[in-house]
Amino acid sequence: MEKIKSLEDLKNLRDKAKETLRTRSGDVKVTIFASMGTVGIAAGAREVLKMIISELEKRNFSDVEIIEGGSLGLDVEEPVLTIERAGTKITYGKVTPEMAKQIVIQHVINGQPIGEYVIARSKK
């Protein structure tokens, strides 16, 4: 570890370190709800979730929390993924790992929902 030389360095390190603790603060821009009921897992929700995490890591995006939820009841559309961003919740259905990757890039990070995958939307 290199020594900290100035107050500026210290503040930079603080900001960097803060990112890793964001999950504990509840203060995030995007919330991802992954439906992890038995049906969801059977339909491949685990792979979707793993893809989301690895994609977030790859793109260094930590302003997010991932919450595992139970099934919405919409079993036919599993795996279901809901993204909450700027007060709007958008739900995607029949998500594959490949789709999840696109959702992370376009919707989670850049705020552009992918219309063709959307099955529902709701305002807070």
Nearest residue (CB) to another protein, 23 versus 112: 23
Q: Rule CB under 8 A: say whether 74 interacts with another protein.
A: no
Distance between CA atoms of residues 78 and 35, nearest Å: 8
Candidate list 44, 47, 62, 97; residue touching another protein; CB under 8 A = 62
> At its nearest, how many Å lie between another protein and the CB of residue 22?
9
* 11 forms part of the interface with another protein (CB under 8 A): yes
Residue 41 as a binder of another protein (CB under 8 A): the answer is yes
Residues 6+ apart with CB under 8 A from 25: none
| Cα separations in angstroms, 18 against 15, 21, 25, 47, 62 | 5, 5, 10, 28, 10
DSSP letters spanning 58-84: HTT--SEEEEEE---S-GGGPSPEEEE
Could you tell me the two tokens for 55?
């994609």
Q: Return the residue of 42, 51, 66, 96 that touches another protein, per CB under 8 A.
A: 66
Residues of the shown chain interacting with another protein in the complex, contacts defined by CB under 8 A: 1, 3-7, 10-11, 13-14, 17-21, 23-24, 26, 28, 34, 36-38, 41, 46, 49-50, 53, 56-57, 60, 62, 65-70
